[in-house]
Structure 1
Amino acid sequence: MVYEIDNYEFRRVSNDDIVDMLTWKYEGVYSFFDNDFSQGKIDYVKSFPTDENTYSIYKKDNTLVGYCNIYLNDQVKFAVQMKPSLTSQGNGKAFMEAVLSFAKEKYNLKNIGLSVLKFNERAIRLYNSLDFKVTGEYIGRTVKGEMEFISMEKKL
């Protein structure tokens, strides 16, 4: 099933999507998010087709622009990644608004949360512009060891 939100389509992740996603490399400090960084990250990305709450995000012209994972736990959270060639071009807000609309519509959500690495100032600025509020800070484990995270939440 394909969900259409604004100029985006949310689709089940295909094996072709995985091949593309595993080539994603970011500049500077954002290289932390490269999808081929470690075997753990590679295995995580390769698991997407079997996760019913992970979606590839396409523009209507059939261009893959990113993906999102919705985690349905005590508090609903999400993770999102945009294709590196599309970052820092003013695309983030419309992309995130579509992700939030999709999550609200598909899962009938009233609010949603996320965790963001404290060094990821670009993402934090975006989340602030979308009215996410900081709910806490913590030290969490990553593939590069322990790092500082910020928890944020938004009413939908």
Structure 2
Amino acid sequence: METTTFNKVKEDDAEILSSWTYPPPYDFYNHAQTEDRKQEWLTGNYFCIYKQAEMIGFFCYGESARVPVNNCLLYIDEYIDIGLGMRPDLTGKGGGKSFLTSILMEIERLFPNTPIRLTVASFNKRAIHLYEKLGFIIQHQFQRKSTTFYIMVRKK
């Protein structure tokens, strides 16, 4: 059985994560390699996900997982927010369910009995389909710049 581990993002990890590039339309999720972004990786609630010794993705929770919006009321309640990203060369190959399941198990370990929420760009049908398969439903939608986002929740 493959072991999944979660480690707080370190300096080298931040460099690797910032270098990941996704093909269109997922290039929306590419991260700028700036000092501010690096500091966000290092000081926010970001964790690298490893299968054996190989980094396969990351997740974050809390404020780090929220899309900044003018209407902050969208994020006020008892949910724990999560964000995630799979290494670009692993996406679209059927590994998303086990990837997300391992994250959900870790979040449930860290925050027992807390409902989980995530925010996703509406064009990302592949991710939305996966989230729905794992029990998430669309609760709200909002616009930020030219992108529509869905806030999805998973209740216990």
Per the normalisation by structure 2, the TM-score is 0.83
Is residue 43 of structure 2 the alignment partner of residue 50 of structure 1? Answer: yes
Residue of structure 1 equivalent to 2:60 = 69
Q: How does 1:3-82 map to 2 (within 5 A)?
A: 7-36=3-32, 39=34, 43-51=36-44, 53-60=45-52, 62-71=53-62, 74=77, 75-82=79-86
Is residue 147 of structure 2 the alignment partner of residue 147 of structure 1? Answer: yes
Task: Determine what percentage of the aligned residue pairs are the same residue.
Answer: 28
Residue of structure 2 equivalent to 1:123 = 127
CA distance in structure 2 between the aligned counterparts of 1:139 and 1:123, rounded to whole angstroms: 18
Residue of structure 2 equivalent to 1:137 = 141
CA distance in structure 2 between the aligned counterparts of 1:46 and 1:146, rounded to whole angstroms: 26
Residue of structure 1 equivalent to 2:66 = none
Deviation, 1:45, is 4.2
Is residue 92 of structure 2 the alignment partner of residue 88 of structure 1? Answer: yes
How many residues are aligned here?
Answer: 142
Deviation, 1:44, is 2.9
Deviation, 1:110, is 2.8
Contact 1:35 1:45 in 2 (8 A): no
Greater mean deviation of Cα atoms: 76-85 or 65-74: 65-74
C-alpha RMSD over aligned residues: 1.9
CA distance in structure 2 between the aligned counterparts of 1:16 and 1:25, rounded to whole angstroms: 17
Contact 1:78 1:114 in 2 (8 A): yes
Q: Which runs of 5+ in 1 are unaligned?
A: 1-5
Contact 2:82 2:116 in 1 (8 A): yes
- Return structure 1 stretches of 4+ with deviation > 6 angstroms: none
Per the normalisation by structure 1, the TM-score is 0.83
SS at match of 2:92: coil
- Letter aligned with residue 27 of structure 1: P
Deviation, 1:69, is 0.8
